[in-house]
Every structure is written in structure tokens, then in C-alpha cells.
Amino acid sequence: MYSLVIVDDETELLEGLSHYFPWESIGFVVTGSFIDGRTALQYCTHNRPDVVLTDIRMPFMDGLQLLEALTALEPTPLFCVMSAYNDFEYAKRAISYGVQEYLVKPSSFDEIRETFLKIRALLDGTTVPVATHHVASEQTNHLIAQTYAIMEKRIGSCSLQNIASELSITDSYLSRLFKEKTGRNFQEVLLEKKMETARQMLASRVNYKNKEIAQALGYQDTQNFCRTFQRYWGKSPQKFKKEVLT
């Protein structure tokens, strides 16, 4: 579960969100609820929640002042603003503090749920919020580079699931990230690398048998490997090998 702090000076709304919204069903637990930003900041400084959901206009310290103060924390929580003020200046200032989502009151059950499902997806991908686009880009490129390195090193045993587990991210996040950065899906690239490896093994001077190549590439069934090779290269492994040797 990810920890959530809610800050709103409307006591009925605060009570309803804190105690009656089914946060646990979407992966969150409310660890603190406050009616002003100053008290919330004191709590967050010592307890470091994963997400802060805050109103903007509140006594003592408003939501934007709270966000500005919280950006100094390490790690910085993710932010969601929920306000009746659907004003561009508020939104622009909120975005400058790294706000992930902006909800306009009154928000429906489905709007809150969908918003926090997106926030949870972000947390699932990396539990360390990235402060700048430059850092995010570097981190993304590093993850993709690691994915390719693992793929090359363990061509016969790697999968989207075990690579994601090794990188401490979810497989759905890795799949989406890989597609966004390379323009191709993971399985397509993995198949390409397997078929290119198979081609090289068949063309080598070592007399590899189809069964040995299949096992090296992670195919439990030799016939399945041969059918895949045929579909990919348009010819069987036997025919390809014969053409290379003649």
C-alpha cells in the first residue's frame, strides 16, 4: 500500500475522503488528514508520505505554499490538487511544483478513482518521484539500456516479467516504457534477437543441431522453434543451413 495524506479545510469532505472512500481497493492507505497546510507540513516532514492530496485555499498555509515546502523533502511525495478554483494561474503554479494531477471540486467517485489509479501506476513504475524532465529522461534511458543488456546476456531465459522484476519495476510499466522509447514492443524485439542469434548459430562452423539452438534460445519444443524460424525468415533452419554451406 502507498501512504496518502489528505489536506482540506472542508471538514465534511475531509472526513468523507479520509474514512469512507475505498482507498485500499486501489492501493492506498490514508496515514494522515489535516485541515490546514501548516499542520500537514509538520506531519509530512517527519513521516514522508508517498502522495499528498491537498486543497488550495486553507488557513495558516494554503495548498500551494504547502506544495512549495514539500518539494524540499527527499524523497518528494507525488502531489494531487483538489480545488474548487478551476483557474489557469492556480494550475500553472501547481504544475511548477510538480503536481501530477489536478481535480476540480466537486469531483465524482470515478474521477477520484481514475486519477489515483494513474498515480498508483506512476508509483508502481518508480517509487522515487523524478523532479525534472532531464532526470526522468536519464532514468528512462538507463532502464531501457539495462533491458537490452539483460536481453543480450540471457537471450534464452529472459522475459518481460523477470527483467522487470530484476529492475524493481512492474512488467506493465516496463512494457509501456519500452514501447514509448523504442517504438516497438518488447516481444517483437526479443523475437528479433532470438531469430538473429539462431541465424548466426546456423551459419557458424559449429555444427549446431536444431535442438541445441532451440534450447539455447529458450524453446522447450524444437518443432516450435523450427516453425517460428520458418515464419520469421521464410525458410526452414535446414534449408537456411544448406544454402549457407553451399
- Residues 112-130 have pLDDT tens digits of 988 898 899 888 875 444 4
Contact 199, 191 (CB under 8 A): no
Least confident of 2-16, 104-118, 218-232: 104-118
| Domain hosting residue 165, numbered range | 133-183
**Do residues 120 and 9 both lie within one domain?**
yes
pTM of the model: 0.50
Ramachandran assignment for 186, one of left (phi > 0), alpha (psi -120 to 50 degrees), beta (any other): alpha
Task: Examine the domain organization and report whether 231 and 175 are in the same domain.
Answer: no
- Residues 46, 104 share a domain: yes
Q: How far apart are the first and last CA of the chain?
A: 62
**Secondary structure (DSSP) of 116-147:** HHHHHHHHHH-SS---SHHHHHHHHHHHHHHH
Whether residue 114 sits in one domain with residue 9: yes
% of the chain at pLDDT higher than 70: 89
Tens digit of each residue's pLDDT (9 = 90 or more) over 132-150: 444 445 567 778 888 888 8
CATH of the domain at 226: 1.10.10
Please list, in sequence order, all residues whose beta carbon lies within 8 angstroms of the beta carbon of residue 7, skipping any fewer than 6 positions away: 33, 34, 35, 36, 37, 40, 52, 53, 54, 55, 58, 63, 66
Same domain, 38 and 140: no
Among the candidates 183, 200, 218, a domain finishes at: 183
Average pLDDT on 32-54 reads 94
Q: Looking at the structure, tell me whether residues 226 and 112 fall in a common domain.
A: no
**CATH number of residue 87's parent domain:** 3.40.50.2300
Tell me, yes or no, whether 103 and 13 share the same domain.
Answer: yes
Same domain, 34 and 137: no
Same domain, 85 and 114: yes
Residue 172 sits in the same domain as residue 238: no
Picking from 125, 150, 172, the residue at the C-terminal end of a domain is: 125
Reported as a pLDDT band with limits 50, 70 and 90, residue 86 is: low
Same domain, residue pair 120 and 93: yes
Q: 156 with 220, same domain?
A: no
Averaged pLDDT for residues 188-206:
91
Identify the domain boundary among 183, 200, 221: 183
Which of 92-96, 161-165, 166-170 bottoms out in mean pLDDT, i.e. has the lowest? 92-96
Kindly tell me if the per-residue pLDDT of 96 is higher than 80: no
Do 120 and 66 meet the contact criterion of CB atoms below 8 Å apart? no
Average pLDDT over residues 38-60: 92
Q: Number of structural domains, the chain?
A: 3
Q: pLDDT for 230-243, tens place per residue?
A: 999 999 999 998 88
